[in-house]
């Protein structure tokens, strides 16, 4: 890893307010939680904002579960505003079909909305979520537009959803979105299936790049979680020149933390079962958080997680932009094995 990044401060705090969700998405990384009823206590939510604000963090991202099912969400947004921070929620938008609920959130000083798109019609929505909610989703999008609220749509690309990505993008462009965020499915621990062939996924995306670029008018970005060396180099160069690649997450950049419903501190939301610390009686202030963030134990955890996946990475000229890809991928495959298979073909 780039050792200079260990000096980075916590610029963003992700607050996981609940585990409950009104959908059952096939690609959800939190399936092992069984979407239980655990939620963040209101007093604890305020404590999180207090500590991170005192530390100097300004950006707060609220997620779940499904954060719009959290009854204290309006109060939390208002509290972040009063503390001088900005707030963004990551949601499936189903509750925005209730226009009054959306207006109430807007009054609570909500700064940003990220919407995870689940399908482009009734059939695809049901297949991906197990819920007949496409009509509510469409109503939610219309309510956002009517109330002048901007949102950032995102879509997860798996070996299955890549087959109909054109339909999803065309649907979103009909709603006049300004930018679309794409990301690859990341396979959680113990779940086999749709994320286990990274080279196949890259090849399919490469085949569809021109149509993706055409439909969106180039206004998309791919959170690229797979190593650059698995890609056609000319495509990486082209997408970089068009500012369509995002490759470094908060874990790799060492500039963000996730706080879960039990006040545990996690380096990534997908690693919710592996916290690196806890907000408790020993962590009450921004100074306590700073000492935790910069102590040897925390540094050692990051160094261990961010070990390079292959020796070839050590001399790669793209390392500072690629970092070997998403850490989660290497719980499921070995980079050298994928590179070997690619070269043999």
Helical H runs in 233-295? 233-241, 250-253, 286-293
Q: Taking the CB of residue 329, how many other CB atoms lie within 10 A of it?
A: 21
Distance (Å) of CA 280 to CA 52, 288, 297:
14, 10, 17
Q: Does 338 fall in a domain? A: yes
Q: Does some domain include residue 1?
A: no
Output the average pLDDT for the chain.
90
The mean per-residue pLDDT over the stretch 313-338 comes to: 84
**pTM of the model as a whole:** 0.92
What was the pLDDT predicted at 154?
96
Least confident of 2-11, 86-95, 170-179, 185-194: 185-194
pLDDT digits (tens, 9 = 90+) for 149-167: 999 999 999 888 999 999 9
- Asked if the structure places residue 3 within a domain, the reply is no
Sign of CA dihedral 156, 157, 160, 165: positive
Number of domains in the chain: 1
Q: Is residue 135 part of a domain?
A: yes
pLDDT surpasses 50 at 194: no
* pLDDT of 30: 66
Using CA atoms, how far residue 150 sits from 178, 213, 220, in Å, is: 9, 22, 16
Between the alpha carbon of residue 212 and those of residues 84, 162, 284, 330, the distances in Å are 38, 11, 48, 28
Structural domain contains residue 204: yes
Full domain range(s) for residue 235: 8-344
Determine phi and psi for 256, rounding to 5 degrees.
Answer: -160, 155
Question: Considering the domain boundaries, does residue 2 fall inside one?
Answer: no
Statement: residue 188 has pLDDT above 70: no
Q: Please, are residues 139 and 158 in contact by the beta-carbon 8 Å criterion?
A: no
Dist CA 298 CA 19 (whole Å): 26
Three-class SS of residue 213? helix
CATH of the domain at 241: 3.20.20.70
Q: Which tens digit of pLDDT belongs to each residue from 119-157? A: 999 999 999 999 999 999 999 999 999 998 999 999 999
132 backbone dihedrals φ, ψ, rounded to 5°: -85, 80
pLDDT mean over 318-345: 81
């Amino acid at each position: 890893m780039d050792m200079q990044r260990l000096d980075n401060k916590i610029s963003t705090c992700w607050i996981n307010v609940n585990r409950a969700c009104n959908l059952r998405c096939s690609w959800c990384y939190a399936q092992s939680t069984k979407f239980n009823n655990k939620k963040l206590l209101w007093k604890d939510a305020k404590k999180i904002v207090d500590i991170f604000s005192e530390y100097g963090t300004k950006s707060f991202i609220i997620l779940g579960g499904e954060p719009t099912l959290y009854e204290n969400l309006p109060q939390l947004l208002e509290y972040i505003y009063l503390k001088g921070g900005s707030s963004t929620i990551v949601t499936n938008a189903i509750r925005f079909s209730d226009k009054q609920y959306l207006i109430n959130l807007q009054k609570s000083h909500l700064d940003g909305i990220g919407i995870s798109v689940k399908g482009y019609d009734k059939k695809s929505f049901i297949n991906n979520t197990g819920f007949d909610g496409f009509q509510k989703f469409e109503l939610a999008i219309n309510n956002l537009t009517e109330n002048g609220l901007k949102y950032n749509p995102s879509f997860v690309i798996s070996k299955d959803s890549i087959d109909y990505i054109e339909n999803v993008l065309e649907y979103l462009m009909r709603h006049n979105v300004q930018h679309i965020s794409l990301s690859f499915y990341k396979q959680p621990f113990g779940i086999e299936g749709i994320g286990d062939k990274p080279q196949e996924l890259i090849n399919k995306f490469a085949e569809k790049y021109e149509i993706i670029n055409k439909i969106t008018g180039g206004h998309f970005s791919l959170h690229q979680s797979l190593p650059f060396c698995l890609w056609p180099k000319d495509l990486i160069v082209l997408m970089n020149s068009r500012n369509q690649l995002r490759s470094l997450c908060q874990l790799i950049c060492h500039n963000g933390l996730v706080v879960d419903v039990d006040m545990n501190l996690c380096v990534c939301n997908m690693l919710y079962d592996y916290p690196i610390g806890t907000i408790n009686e020993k962590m009450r202030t921004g100074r306590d958080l700073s000492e935790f963030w910069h102590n040897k134990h925390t540094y050692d955890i990051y160094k261990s997680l961010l070990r390079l996946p292959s020796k070839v990475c050590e001399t790669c000229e793209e390392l500072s932009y690629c970092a070997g890809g998403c850490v989660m991928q290497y719980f499921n495959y070995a980079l050298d094995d994928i590179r070997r298979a690619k070269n043999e073909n």
